[in-house]
Amino acid sequence: MSNATTQRMHPHKFTLWIAMGSLIMMFAGLTSAFIVKSNQVGWKPVSLPNVFWVSTIVIVLSSATIIAAQRAFKNRNLATYRLLMIVTLLLGSTFIAMQWQGFQALWAQQITFKGSGAGQFLYVIFGLHALHVAGGVIALLVMVTRAFIGRVKVYSSVPVEIASTYWHFVDLLWIYLLVFFLVLGKN
């Protein structure tokens, strides 16, 4: 076998990277539109509720737990893997619940989807991110379910690696979006 044959990327990993590239372009377009619109007359800045900070800690912790879960899986420590995947699932669900609390806090501040300003973009961008995290939570739920009731025919770490890569992606994307709104959302 040639070196090129042994170096191929798994097709599912390749597909994930293509999808993440598409998501990067979508969020880059949305944040670019935010910058353009923020220079228009009538633009209203937004101050982010503190719950978004706490949710950041939660999603970063979930990235740490999925790293540990992936390591446990590769070491064939299934009990630890199951526990860490459950913790990651709970942290991901907590993140989504905290996003909802953040949206409620914005609503209480009279920052709605109507009008002109950062609030509109915040709802769209954070909402789209939350939907992608929800997709990740569903994937984690499937992984946890398989860990308990699935029969392993081939011990492959590819599904765990794909879930982990995606989870880190939504984590890093969230950090980017939070910093973006902190820096440019108050203009």
Determine the pLDDT at residue 38.
85
The tokens describing 124, both together, are 């769209």
- Taking a C-beta distance cutoff of 8 angstroms, is the pair 142, 66 a contact? no
Burial of 92 (0-12, 13-18, 19+ CB in 10 A): buried
Predicted TM-score (pTM) of this structure: 0.86
Closest by Cα among 68, 177, 83 to 133? 177
Report which of 105, 92, 83 is spatially closest to residue 171, judged by C-alpha positions: 92
Taking only the tens of pLDDT, the chain with its 187 residues reads 455 556 787 777 888 788 889 999 999 999 999 888 888 887 777 888 999 999 999 999 999 999 999 999 999 899 999 999 999 999 999 999 999 999 999 889 888 777 667 788 888 899 899 999 999 999 999 999 988 887 666 677 888 899 999 999 999 999 999 998 888 765 5
